[in-house]
Each structure stands twice: as C-alpha cells, then as structure tokens.
A and B are shown apart, each in its own frame.
Chain A
Amino acid sequence: MKPILEAIDVRKAYANHVALNGVSLAIPEGSIFGLLGPNGAGKTSLIRIITQITGADEGEIRFRGERLNPSHIAQIGYLPEERGLYKKMKVGEQLLYLAQLRGLSRSDATARIKHWLNRFEIKEWASKNVEDLSKGMQQKVQFIATVLHEPSLIILDEPFSGFDPINANLIKDEILELRKQGATIIFSTHRMESVEEMCDNIALINRSRKVLDGPVGVIRDQFKTNTYEVEGKGKLIVVHPDFEVVEQKERENGHFYARVQLHAGVRPNDLLRYLIGAVEVEAFREKIPSINEIFIRRVRETMPETLVEETV
C-alpha cells in the first residue's frame, strides 16, 4: 500500500544531543503503525517534526507524496503524551475551539462534538469546566479533541497511559473503528507489549536511530530462533545431536515445562517424534519472540556499534 507518510533521512539535533540520526520510515495508509522504543530514544522528537511543532535539521517528511506543510495540519490529529486542556474552559467550548483551530467550521464542529459526546455517553459534561472532571474523563475529552476533525493520520503518544482497563478497551475499540474507516494511526510507546497486538507495522527506535522496521509478522518470523515449548508428564532427558534443551522447569505431579532449540535443518516433527517416545506430551508450540524480546536482542546486537561510535 502507498505510504501516507514518509520520513527520509531525518536528522534533528539539540544543543547537547542528537535526537534523530538519519531516520527513514514509510507508514502505509490505513495501517496501525507502532513507533516503539525506550524513553529518550527520539520518538517524541520525530512526532514533533511530523506534527510540525518543530522542523527537521536535515531530511524531509512527505505527506501523501507532498513535502509536509501547514496545509496538512487539518489532516493530522495528535494526542501528546503530556495531556493537557485549558482548565477553566468548558468541555464543549474547548472542543469547539480546538476543532476550529484544526480548520473545521463552527457548524461542522458543533455537530461532531454532539456525536462524539453521545458516543462516549458524556453528553452532560459539555457545559462543565475541564478542571471539574476526573483525570480519566479529561483523557476522554482529549481523545475526542484528537479525532474530532476526522484526520486521516492520527498520532497517539502513549495512548493508554492514564486510562483504567475499561476505558483503555473503549479507546482501543475506537482506534480499531477509526482504522476501519480508513484512518492511519501511529502509536508511540515504550511499553511494547501494550500495542504489538494491534499494530500492523512497527519501527523500533533506539538512541536516535531506527534499528528495525517492517510488518509485525515478518519481523517475528525473522527473529524466530527455531525454539519450541514443550509441556508434558515424565522425565525429559534429551540426549540427541539435533536438539538441545535451553530451559527446563519441574512442575507439580511430575509435570514439566521445557524450551528446546532445534539445530539447523531439523524440523519440528522430528522433535515431536522423539518426544512422543520419551514423555507424555501435553502441549507443543513454537516459541514466537515478543516484540519486546526482539527489541532487546536487537539493541544488544547494535550496542557495540553505537558504543564504538560514541567513543570515537
């Protein structure tokens, strides 16, 4: 699919550190894109460039093939990690104000505010001051403010922080619904497990560089280690040139859990056949690495290189 947004060799430096060091990305239209990385990796810097709060020192951002410019503001929605609203303003007026700043007409904005407040069942909040709402309520209002102008690109920075599980689910459903309607969503988070299930594509950023990107499935396949998880009853003693037990745990009543690595060229059925002869197999599945694990591995792999660079 054609990318809605492309970053080409983007560099950004602040007074005493480099925030982005030649980052290139392509975000396919209609997908959920995870921008992952630890705190301080450069995610927020990249987002601030995409939202035109700051500019890149070098490189460029293209929105639907055009160089990013202020006319794109109306097509981008942004929920920053630092949530904030005007405390002394009424919810309805605040939403109207923010929507108008994003280029929506007064009448369109009013109609959509009504729609969203109904949808979240918070109609009665419209005339309340923001400071009178709970933190979770404010988050909902801010989410509405982010999507009110029906942006085609929605950027959510740590979207679930501050939400209780019920509201987090509500927001999750809304995000999936928005994608269904054709919007592209960028998730930025350092809690990788929280969004990996939702993301179609991800990019990992570490120390101002992109260390990995691609579709989630492809990345996971790449990082498979040909390891299988086995659960069963009996005593597992593997003495075989093709397999190697990486980890084994004893459980109650003679049960066990083990991770077994297959050597190159060995197929899972070979292991299964061997196991059936040795123990009673209750579960057998391939160990698929989580994004978090992949990330940690990737960071370890790239670490020497970055360390070398930094000392030079």
Chain B
Amino acid sequence: MASKFLLVAQREYLTRVRKRAFIILTLAVPLLLAGFGVFIAKIASSDNDTTDVVEVRDDSGLNVASHLVSTPQLRFETATGTLADAKKGFQKAKHDGLVYLPAGLDVEKPQGVQFFGKGNISLKKQLAVENALNKAFSELKMQKSGLSQDQLDRLRSKVDLQAISLDETGKEADSNALATSGTAYALALAIYLFIFIYGVQIMRGVGEEKSSRIMEVMLSSVKPFDLMMGKIVGIAAVGLTQFLMWGLLSFGVSSVLLPMVTKTDKPKTEVAASPAPDAPGAAATTADEPQSAGERFDKGVDSSTKNMDPGKRMNIFATLGNLPIGTILFGFIIYFLGGYLLYGALFGAVGAAVDDQTDTQQFMFPITMPLILSYIVGVSVILRNPDGPVAFWMSMIPFTSPIAMVIRLPFGVPMWQLALSIFLLILGFIGTVWVAARIYRVGVLMYGKKVTYKELGKWMFYKG
C-alpha cells in the first residue's frame, strides 16, 4: 500500500532530521570545512608570498652565481667571507640556505656542489635550487661552446602546452586531465560516502526495530517490503537533505569567509582556494557533495597549479565547462540512486538477519568488499585508464558500476556501454531488493539464533 510506505518513509525521515545530532552535524560540518578551507587558503597564499633567500659561495672561479636566475619564490645572494663564515652568516641573516660551489669545479661534470640549509631541507626547495643550478650550468656550457649571450637569449623558449580532445564527431574541446579526473574523483567519492554512511544507518535502523521488539506490531500493519523500502527511501531523503544543506551552507559560509582572507589583488589564490562553485562544471556536478570531495579536489587543483600562471589556472575551470555535463549529471543521479538502493537493501537485510549489532561483521564483509574494491581500483586503475578492460568490466557489474561508471563518465563513455550498464544496474537492484526482502521478512522475527549463510539461503525459499 503506497500510503503506508509513505508513512514509514516519512517517520524515518522526520525522526532522524529532528535529532539533535543531525542538526549539530549539519551545521558543524560546513563550518569546519569552511574553516579548513580558509586555513588552507591562508597557508597557500602565505606560501606563495614568501621568497626563499639562498646565499651562494662561489669558489669555482666559473662565475656560476651570475647565471643563477632569481624568481619571485627563490632569490640568490652572494655570500661573503670564508665558507665557515658563510655557514654561520646565512643563519644569522635568517636566510634559507647556502649553496657552496667548491674550487676546481668542472663545467662538464659539476660535482661536489653542496647545499646547506637550516634543519631538514624540503624537497621542493632542493628541486628549485637544483633546477636553477642546472640552468646555470647549461648556460655556462653553451657559452663555452661559443654562443653569444644574444644567441642564448633567443634559444630560450617557453612552451605552454594546450591539450585539445577530439571526440568521435571531430568536435574540439579543451581537455584538461586534471579537471576531468578531479570531477571523476569527486563523483566517485560522493557515491562511495553516501552509500557507506547511509547504508549503515539502514542497517542500524532495522537492528533497532528488531531489538526494541516493535517489529511484530509493525508487521501486523505493514508489509515487510513496504517497511523495508520505506526505511531505505526515508534514510535516503535524510542523506540528501544533509548533503544539500552541507553544500548550501559551505558555499554560504565560504563565500562570506574567503574574501576576508584572500586579498583581491591575488586572483590566483582566490581561484585555487574558493570551492567549486567558481567553476560552472564543478558547481553543477558536485552540487550534492561539494565539501569533502570538492575540498580535496580543490586541493588537487591548488597544489598542481601552483607553478602555472593565473591564465592557465583559469583554463582548468573553463574546461570543466567543456565536460559532458548533461551525461555526467544524468549518469550520476542514476548511479547514485541505483547504487544506494542496491546496497541499501543489502544493508537492511543484514540488519534483519542478526540479533546483535556485533554479529553484523561477518555479513558486512561481503557487502563492503565490492564497494571498497570499486573505489580503490576506481581511483587508481580506472582513473588512469578509463577505457581499459578493467574499467569496462567494473562499470558493467552492478556491484561496482555505481562507482566505476561515474569515474568513467567525465572522460566520455560510448552510449551503448552506458545503456547496458544502467540496464544491468536496474536488474541488479531489483535482484538485491528481492533477495533482501526475503531475508528481511524472515529475519525480522527471528530472535536468539545465530544466523549462518546456509540459513539465509533457506530463508529465500520460505513461503509467504
């Protein structure tokens, strides 16, 4: 009966949404995330502001120092006095390091160059100094081979690679691996988290009904199937409400807080730190779940774009708009709901089968296994090779397709594969809901019995 199903869903929804824990969590998480975001933005901007000063003590007689090019992040200064003096001197001057070029250095084979730093030297700093030294030595070598300074300047070039993806119809679109993978990653994480968090809630909800012994009263009024589906749908609504509130609130909070931290004269940090909504694509695809996934996604963008110029950084967000948004959004909703229903029913069945919450472990394992597996394989293998055989098969199997397929979506998926996968997913969730309903029906009234898999198998074939 539809009205009873709705009543059950309504109760599941209202009792949860009105809980103090729900309200606190809904309000606190965006604040925490926004605070975290602001913190990251602050760090990132201060990171970009500081200039590392490295002193150079050049005993080589090759005049390497004059070829070391200073950048906004790294400045070279000539050290005075002996090596021992310089070692003390750079620390006193609060400089970040000292490069020592020993006497008799061979331009062709520069060995024995030392870099002293305060405490441990970060890899980033070391790389930057190495880079500068490499450039200096190549210039020296070229000079030695007889090229003039003028010729050298003309030899230097700066390439900025623009990747363009061609689809089957030959349409061009700016492709950016980072934007695509970021979107894929965010979508997969959203589905993974949602299934996990709210699937477990279904299981615990059923367990609570069982242990409070209200099941018999309920079942004399409502069909087990309605009771189970009402719970699954009601909890899904709770989850959607929470995710939506988180999205709206973090967007609201961060749009208030971020301008206060990041000054307007630094467009790059602003782009890097403000959440997805700045980019049209990300805003549309991660609307349900922008915080955790979105946040990481932002961090990803932030760290790897640090050394690009602002114009290129903007390009990433522009390319987000070039992703197949319609397909992604459609696919995301289908796989989000399908995956949740498929797993939610199984979690419900586990809750019904056991008496004691501690007994859930043995049945949880086979359920969580494909979920965790598809996530791990998804973000490693599939993300790197979204058209490979692993990607194909995992996006067909209903237990792994909700995560595997959404990872593939931003990279473009042939229509027939998408259709087949959705068809299989629908078959899959009808199957698990059927199985779960049978286990549920018998399990909810079964007390004081340690249930085995064999037992569960028998329950499938019990008559109404």
Contacts and interface: CB of A to CB of B under 8 A. Distances in A.
Interface of A: 15, 48, 51-55, 57, 70, 73, 76, 78, 80, 82-89, 97-98, 100-102, 142, 145
Contact of A78 (B215, B220, B222): B220
- Range for the number of chain B residues in contact with chain A: 20 to 34
Given A55-B464, A70-B1, A73-B221, A101 B7 contact: yes
A145 B217 CA distance: 9
Contact of B220 (A73, A87, A142): A73
Contacts of A142: 217
A2 to B, nearest CB: 24
Interface string B215-241: 111111111000000000000000000
B445 A53 contact: yes
Given A15-B458, A97-B7, A89 B15 contact: yes
B148 interface: no
* Those 5 A-B pairs whose CB atoms lie nearest each other, nearest first: A84-B213, A84-B214, A51-B220, A80-B216, A101-B221
A124 B209 CA distance: 26
Contacts of A85: 212, 214, 217
Given A84-B216, A85-B212, A89-B15, A101 B445 contact: no
A112 B212 CA distance: 25
Interface string B424-450: 000000000000000000000100000
A53 B220 contact: yes
Contacts of B7: 97, 100-101
A78 B217 contact: yes
Contacts of B215: 84
Contact of B222 (A57, A101, A145): A101
The listed residue with most A CB atoms (<10 A of its CB), out of B19, B209, B464, is B464
B306 interface: no
Interface in B1-38: 1, 4, 7-8, 11, 15, 19
B463 interface: yes
A84 B220 contact: no
The listed residue with most A CB atoms (<10 A of its CB), out of B7, B216, B219, B463, is B216
Given A84-B216, A86-B212, A102 B221 contact: yes
Given A53-B445, A89-B15, A101-B4, A80 B212 contact: no
A147 B125 CA distance: 78
Contacts of B216: 48, 53, 78, 80, 82, 84
B193 to A, nearest CB: 25
Given A70-B1, A85-B214, A88-B15, 7 more contacts: A51-B220, A53-B220, A76-B220, A80-B213, A86-B212, A89-B15, A101-B8
17 contacts: A53-B216, A53-B220, A53-B445, A70-B1, A73-B221, A76-B220, A78-B217, A80-B217, A80-B220, A83-B213, A84-B215, A84-B217, A86-B212, A88-B19, A98-B221, A101-B8, A101-B222
Nearest to A102: B221
Contact of B463 (A57, A83, A88, A145): A57
A54 B464 contact: yes
Interface of B: 1, 4, 7-8, 11, 15, 19, 208-209, 212-223, 445, 458, 463-464
Contacts of B221: 73, 98, 101-102
A87 B404 CA distance: 40
B299 to A, nearest CB: 38
Classify the secondary structure of A's interface with B.
Answer: loop
The listed residue with most B CB atoms (<10 A of its CB), out of A53, A73, A83, A87, is A53
A87 B217 contact: no
A255 B304 CA distance: 107
B426 to A, nearest CB: 28
B228 to A, nearest CB: 14
Contacts of A52: 220
Contacts of A101: 4, 7-8, 218, 221-222
Contacts, number: 61
Nearest to A86: B214
A15 B461 CA distance: 11
Contacts of B208: 87
A97 B11 contact: yes
A88 B21 CA distance: 13
A88 B15 CA distance: 8
A87 B218 CA distance: 14
Nearest to B441: A54
Contacts of A87: 208, 212
B20 to A, nearest CB: 11
Contacts of B222: 101
Contacts of A86: 15, 209, 212, 214
Contacts of A15: 458
A100 B9 CA distance: 13
A76 B208 CA distance: 25
Nearest to B224: A53
Nearest to A50: B220
Contacts of A78: 216-217, 220
Contacts of B458: 15
B177 to A, nearest CB: 49
A63 to B, nearest CB: 14
The listed residue with most B CB atoms (<10 A of its CB), out of A80, A87, A145, is A80
Nearest to B219: A53
Nearest to B14: A93
Contacts of B15: 86, 88-89
A201 to B, nearest CB: 23
Nearest to A80: B216
A51 B11 CA distance: 23
A22 B209 CA distance: 33
Contacts of A70: 1, 223
Contacts of B19: 88
B464 to A, nearest CB: 4
Contacts of A53: 216, 219-220, 445
Contacts of A88: 15, 19
A54 B444 CA distance: 12
Contacts of A48: 216, 445
Contacts of B445: 48, 53
A117 B156 CA distance: 90
A296 to B, nearest CB: 29
The listed residue with most A CB atoms (<10 A of its CB), out of B8, B217, B463, is B217
Nearest to B220: A51
B419 to A, nearest CB: 38
A53 B440 CA distance: 12
B463 A55 contact: yes
A195 to B, nearest CB: 21
B213 A82 contact: yes
Contacts of A76: 220
A2 B458 CA distance: 41
Contacts of B212: 84-87
A101 to B, nearest CB: 4
A77 to B, nearest CB: 9
